[in-house]
Amino acid sequence: MHRVLLTGGPALTRDAYARIIEGSALLTVQAQIPDLTQALAQLPSLRPDILLIDILALAPSPWATTLLCLRRAAAHTALAVIGDMSADEISSLLHVGVAGILNQRIEASPFVAALALMSQGGTVISSPSSTTRISATPPSPVLDQLSTRERQILALIATQPDNKTLAQLLGISPLTVKSHVNRILRKLGASSRAHLVTIAYETGLVSPGPPAWRTPAY
C-alpha cells in the first residue's frame, strides 16, 4: 500500500480525496495536515510515498519561496498538486520536481491510477481535456534509447499542439524543445512529429484520458 499525505484546501475537499484513496486497493491515507508548512516540516519523519497538495495551499506564500520549498520536498517524496493552474504555474511546478499535476475535475478512478503511477516514480500531467501519463521506466524496448527527459517530451508531444506550448510547460526555451524533438526523431527513426505521436501511443508511453474528462480545455 502506498501512503498518501494530504495537505491544504478545504477540509471537506481533503476528506473527499481521503475517501477515494481509502477505497482503493493500492493507496492508503497516512495523515491529513491542513497547513502546508507543517506538512513539509514532517516529511522527513513521516516519509509518505506521495504528498498531495491542494493548489490553494500554495497561495499564501510568495511563489518563489513556495517553489524552493517544493524543490526541497521533492527530494523526500513524490509531490502532486491538484487544482486549476495556469500554464506558467504548471511549468514552474514541473521545473522544481513536482511529479503530478492534477485537474480538480479528475474522476475517482484516474485519480487513483495517477497517484499509483506517481508512487512508482512516474509523472502525470492532466488537464480538463487530456491526461498525459509518463511512465517511470520505458514501457517498450523501443524507447530504451531515450533519456528520461526525451521520454517526457515525447509523451507531451502526443497531447500538446506545438513546441511553444511544450516550452511553457517545461520551463525551457522553444529552441531547446526543438533540439530535443530533433534528437528524438533521429533516435527513433521517425519521419515526422505525427509519427512521434503514433509511437508514443503504440508503445504505451501515453494513455489518453477517459471520455469523462473531455471537458473544454482552459
Reported as a single tens digit per residue, the pLDDT across 24-35 is: 888 999 999 999
Mean pLDDT of 51-80: 90
Under CATH, what is the fold of the domain 2-126? Rossmann fold (3.40.50)
Q: Does the pLDDT value for residue 197 go beyond 60?
A: yes
d(CA 177, CA 5): 34
**Pick from 8, 211, 18: nearest CA to 107:** 211
In the chain, list all ranges with CATH 3.40.50.2300: 2-126
At residue 119's C-alpha, the angle toward residues 63 and 163, to 5°, is 55
Note the pLDDT of residue 3.
94
Q: Does the pLDDT value for residue 43 go beyond 80?
A: yes
Q: Could you report the per-residue pLDDT of 132-165, keeping only the tens digit for each?
A: 555 544 456 777 888 877 887 887 787 666 788 7
- Residue 138 C-alpha cell reads as 520505458
At residue 216 the predicted structure's pLDDT band, cuts being 50, 70 and 90, is: very low
- Residue 51 C-alpha cell reads as 504528498
- Residue 208 C-alpha cell reads as 489518453
By percentage, how much of the chain surpasses pLDDT 90?
37
In the chain, list all ranges with CATH 1.10.10.10: 141-202
Using an 8 Å Cβ cutoff, are 77 and 50 in contact? Answer: yes
d(CA 68, CA 62): 10
Q: What is the CATH number of domain 141-202?
A: 1.10.10.10
Using an 8 Å Cβ cutoff, are 164 and 174 in contact? Answer: yes
Q: Does the pLDDT value for residue 203 go beyond 80?
A: no
Chain mean pLDDT for the chain: 81
At residue 210 the predicted structure's pLDDT band, cuts being 50, 70 and 90, is: very low
Read off the pTM: 0.65
